[in-house]
Copies of this chain bind each other. A is one copy, B any other.
Amino acid sequence: MNISKFGEFNLINHLMEVISKDNLDIINNLSELGYVLSVPSGDDSAVWNSLDDSHVVTVDALVDNVHFNLDYISWEQLGSKSVSVNLSDIAAMGAKPIFITINLGINNEIKVEDLTSLYLGIMNKCKIYNVAVIGGDIVKSRDFFISISAYGALKQNGVLKRSGALVNDLIAITGNIGSSYGGYKILSENIDINDKLAKDHLINSHNNPIPRVNEGLELLNLGANSAIDISDGLLDDLNKLCKSSNVGAEIHSNDLPIDSYLKIAFRDDYLDYALNGGEDYELLFTAQNDVMKKIKNNINTNITIIGKIIEKEIIILDELGNEINIDPKGWDHFK
């Protein structure tokens, strides 16, 4: 169905209706946890009550043909991914995500069915992390875009900042890196990969990243000193963390948890992809020795120590301890 048959107001209502049953369940769950939505979507603003005194907010937009291509990702996957990239930013603070608002820019080529799929994808991801949709706005735009704001809460004191890294902290990451960029390469350059398992795995890593929400909560609980999520590439994000903390880092390239399917599919380039690829949405964090031990023992997700914080500069060492020369590139859609 063409969207022009719906009015602006009716379209939002229709999409909220699509997710209403699941959303209401989540709102009720959150209410029991102490996050009470006192004015839901549909008024001038949404209002919630909570007894927590720390509030976390992040915003991230994805634009058609810049951040995604609808030839390579389904509407449903796009909805899920949009939620994940925002929850990842909340996770990187060690906070609990509770609510999101959705801002869509849509054009007349888009069908109501597409937006319905998008909202179902959003809700699928929201259900996993018990996050409710509390509002949104739909506007007309030539390029389709989705901008999500996510709100989180911090129960305990303290927060995981980029600026908390200290000299001698160990540096670690959750999960594996590089696979998302491998998937991006396969999709955007139509690269033929013989190993179907590898191909599917890499594409799935790109289209369906996992935000490390529980891991972020645990990292703060257990006493990590700093964290950032890897959205722009390991080196680029490490660089941001080090700059914020006014420190340097020594990375052992041999210890990097590079995705094993990536190594199979991209035998020559996997190190570059792992260091500079981006969109991994793993957490890069630092902690003192004893805290790092506790973290490795208590978090179920694979945690890999990849180096340590030093006073100045970022140095990458190979297996023999020799310095490798790599420029941090990172994602930059303006260059």
For A47, give its contact among B4, B54, B142 (CB under 8 Å): B54
- Contact A140:B66 (CB < 8 A) given known A39-B161, A89-B45, A159-B38: yes
Q: With CB as the reference atom, state the residue of chain B lying closest to A237.
A: B44
User: A73-114 vs B: 1/0 string, CB under 8 Å?
Assistant: 000000000000000111011010001010101001000000
Copies of this chain in its oligomeric complex: 2
User: A4-40 vs B: 1/0 string, CB under 8 Å?
Assistant: 1011110100000000000000000000000000110
A56–B66 CB distance below 8 A = no
- Contact A44:B101 (CB < 8 A) given known A136-B59, A139-B333: no
Q: How far is the CA of A247 from the CA of B333 in the complex (A)?
A: 50
With an 8 Å Cβ cutoff, the count of chain A residues facing the other chain is 74
A154 in contact (CB, < 8 A)? yes
A151 in contact (CB, < 8 A)? yes
A228 in contact (CB, < 8 A)? yes
For A334, give its contact among B4, B58, B334 (CB under 8 Å): B4
- Shortest CB-to-CB span from A201 to chain B, Å, is 27
B54–A38 CB distance below 8 A = yes
B7–A332 CB distance below 8 A = yes
- Shortest CB-to-CB span from A34 to chain B, Å, is 10
A168 in contact (CB, < 8 A)? no
A9–B50 CB distance below 8 A = no
User: A45-57 vs B: 1/0 string, CB under 8 Å?
Assistant: 1111111011111
- Shortest CB-to-CB span from A285 to chain B, Å, is 11
A178 in contact (CB, < 8 A)? no
A134 in contact (CB, < 8 A)? yes
Q: How far is the CA of A108 from the CA of B334 in the complex (A)?
A: 8
Q: Which of A45, A66, A101 has the most CB of B within 10 A?
A: A45
A67–B244 CB distance below 8 A = no
Q: How far is the CA of A150 from the CA of B62 in the complex (A)?
A: 20
- Contact A58:B135 (CB < 8 A) given known A8-B332, A45-B89, A162-B43: yes
Q: Which of A48, A141, A335 has the most CB of B within 10 A?
A: A141
Other than the given A44-B88, A59-B136, 15 more pairs (CB < 8 A) read A8-B332, A9-B332, A38-B54, A43-B92, A43-B161, A44-B89, A44-B90, A44-B92, A44-B162, A44-B228, A45-B90, A45-B95, A47-B154, A57-B149, A58-B135
Some 7 contacts from A to B, beta carbons below 8 A apart, are: A39-B159, A44-B162, A45-B92, A47-B93, A57-B135, A61-B147, A63-B140
